[in-house]
């Protein structure tokens, strides 16, 4: 193409050419910004979903802790019941007759004791003390079983609480991970913007120089 024609065309349309070039560069800039924004939005959604999932898990675990606490309360009620029952039974021992004492030993050991004019083979005072001690032993054995149950429940609660703490730690880790990615994306975007600004300056200068050159020729 003849230089004169090229010069004439550029002279007539140079403004349009400059606008087109600048619009193209602006479009690319916006496109990059949109890509960064979309990437950050995806990261935010990811951490939001993870947080929601862990929150729901912790909510369920809190519910289980509450259920276990109710079990402990029921066990404590049973302990209080057997304590009161044993106390009442022990209080009755002092009023037992010789025949009643013999009946207790017969049922307890499946062996009829010998009753003399002084009572059973053991004098009543000793027999009563033995009965009290036996009842206390029975009470302790029952209490121990309930205490064991409570201990198991407490261990389960502790395990669940550890899981909740672990879930919270995972949530914080994911938050930190996403924040680091967002910061990384933002810093990358800022570096690109800086390069683009410099590119724009060089491009604009080049366009003006080129236009001037063609116009002068």
DSSP 61-112: HHHHHHHHHHHHHHHHHHHHHHHHHHHHHHHHHTT--HHHHHHHHHHHHSSP
Q: Quick check: 154 pLDDT over 80?
A: yes
Q: Counting every residue, how long is the chain?
A: 217
Domain count, the chain: 1
Place of tokens 């924040």: 179
User: Highest mean pLDDT: which of 12-16, 123-127, 148-152?
Assistant: 148-152
Instruction: Count Cβ atoms below 10 Å from residue 166 Cβ, excluding itself.
Output: 12
Confidence band, pLDDT 50/70/90 cuts, at residue 96: confident
Q: What SS3 state is found at 123?
A: coil
If one compares 35 and 27, the residue with the highest pLDDT of the two is 35
pLDDT, average across residues 163-183: 77
Q: Is 192 exposed, middle or buried (0-12, 13-18, 19+ CB in 10 A)?
A: middle
Residue 116 has φ and ψ, to the nearest 5°, of -110, -175
Give percent above pLDDT 90 in the chain.
Answer: 0
Q: How remote is the C-alpha of 114 from its chain's centroid?
A: 67
Least confident window among 24-28, 61-65, 75-79, 142-146: 24-28
For residue 115, the model assigns a pLDDT of: 75
Q: Is the pLDDT of residue 6 over 50?
A: no
- Which residue segment(s) compose the domain that 178 sits in? 3-216
Encode pLDDT of 99-125 as tens digits: 888 888 788 777 777 777 777 677 677
- For residues 199 and 197, what is the distance between their CA atoms, to the nearest angstrom? 5
């Amino acid at each position: 193409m003849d230089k004169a024609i090229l010069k004439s065309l550029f002279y007539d349309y140079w403004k349009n050419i400059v606008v087109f070039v600048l619009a193209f560069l602006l479009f690319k800039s916006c496109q990059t910004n949109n890509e960064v924004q979309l990437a950050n939005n995806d990261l935010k959604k990811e951490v939001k979903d993870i947080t929601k999932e862990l929150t729901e898990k912790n909510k369920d675990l809190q519910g289980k802790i509450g259920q276990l606490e109710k079990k402990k309360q029921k066990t404590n009620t049973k302990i209080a019941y057997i304590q009161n029952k044993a106390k009442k039974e022990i209080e009755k021992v002092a009023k037992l007759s010789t025949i009643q004492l013999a009946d207790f030993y017969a049922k307890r050991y499946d062996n009829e004791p010998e009753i003399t004019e002084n009572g059973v083979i053991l004098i009543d005072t000793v027999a009563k003390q033995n009965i009290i001690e036996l009842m206390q032993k029975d009470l302790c054995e029952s209490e121990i079983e309930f205490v064991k149950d409570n201990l198991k429940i407490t261990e389960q609660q502790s395990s669940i609480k550890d899981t909740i703490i672990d879930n919270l730690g995972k949530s914080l880790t994911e938050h930190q991970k996403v924040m680091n990615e967002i910061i990384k994306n933002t810093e990358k975007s800022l570096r690109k913007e800086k390069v683009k600004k410099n590119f724009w300056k060089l491009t604009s200068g080049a366009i003006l120089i080129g236009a001037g050159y063609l116009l002068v020729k």
